[in-house]
Amino acid sequence: MKKFFKIAVVLSVMALAAGSVYAWNWPWADKSENKISLTGSTTVLPIAQKAAEEFMKANPSVEVSVKGGGSGVGIAAILDGSADIGNASRAIKTKEVINARSKGINAVGNEVAKDGIAMVVHKSNPVDAITLNQLRDIFSGKITKWSQLGGGSGKIVAVSRDTTSGTYEVFSELVLRGAKLRDDAIMTVSNREVAENVKNTEGAIGYLGLAFLSDEMKVLKVEGVLATEANVINGTYKVARPLYMYTNGEPSGLVKQYIDYVLSPAGQKIVKEVGYVPVK
């Protein structure tokens, strides 16, 4: 037993000593100073790609590579060091935090944009406001008539985005919250198609990104708050989520320069152009 514990103690000390070797500089392990890589969320991808193009124009000696793969891929890339920035349209999960900390990684989420979803109905619909629970009941099929909400007569026509879209992802997470989407929902492939359906169908209700709102449909207040850029930014509008660029520790060097660019007025203009809400 004594020998067993002696061996265990010696090996533990050796392991901790090896860990402290990281304090030394290993020049052959340095990554290129003129290259950064991003991977992850397909929702954040348009922001990252457009910002990368503009950033490289302003800094011709710098190379920025951007890939998709999903938020999980982005966060995993930070954990295994295969990317400098992991894009994510969700907060890092507890399991991922613990895994990261075990590996000595301090994953920091840098919020670069917000993704807001507006609830829209036909212009003639008398309903002005709705709650999250009512939305959930409508899109899960529990509420089927407008009269159940104090509206006019007529059947509710639910218009949804396809389940592979980021917009559906937000809607599912924040509105459906575990409920199954009703089988008779009209499935569409784009925000524009949602807008067309709602504009042309009297009993329709749908959801789309703020950038696709127009005077041809009516926007509902959700939990008493209207879907505006200001309300998404100040956090009072609930059907919205932050978009992140995750880094290992606080950003520094070229990574910081790139993220600072995304957060600059020029970068936030790109955020608006691709259909999202700026953080400020």
Q: Which residues bind another protein (CB under 8 A)?
A: 1, 4-5, 7-8, 11-12, 14-16, 18-22, 26, 28-29, 31, 81, 94-95, 97-98, 101-106, 163, 176, 178-181, 187
Q: By C-beta, is 28 or 124 nearer to another protein?
A: 28
Least gap, CB of 140 to another protein (angstroms): 10
Integer Cα distance of 226 and 172 in angstroms:
20
Nearest to residue 258, comparing CAs of 80, 66, 72, 22? 66
d(CA 55, CA 28): 27
Shortest separation between residue 203's beta carbon and another protein, angstroms: 23
CB nearer another protein, residue 95 or residue 280: 95
Please say which residue, 20 or 124, places its beta carbon nearer to another protein: 20
Note whether 197 and 206 are within 8 A (CB).
yes
For helices 265-273 and 253-263, the axis angle rounded to 10 degrees is 60
Beta bridge partners of 219: 120
Least distance in Å: CB of 162 to another protein?
8
CB 12 to another protein: min, Å: 5
CA–CA distance, 249 with 105 (Å, rounded to integer) = 7
- CA–CA separation, 73 and 44 (whole Å): 13
Question: Among residues 193 and 202, whose Cβ is nearest to another protein?
Answer: 193
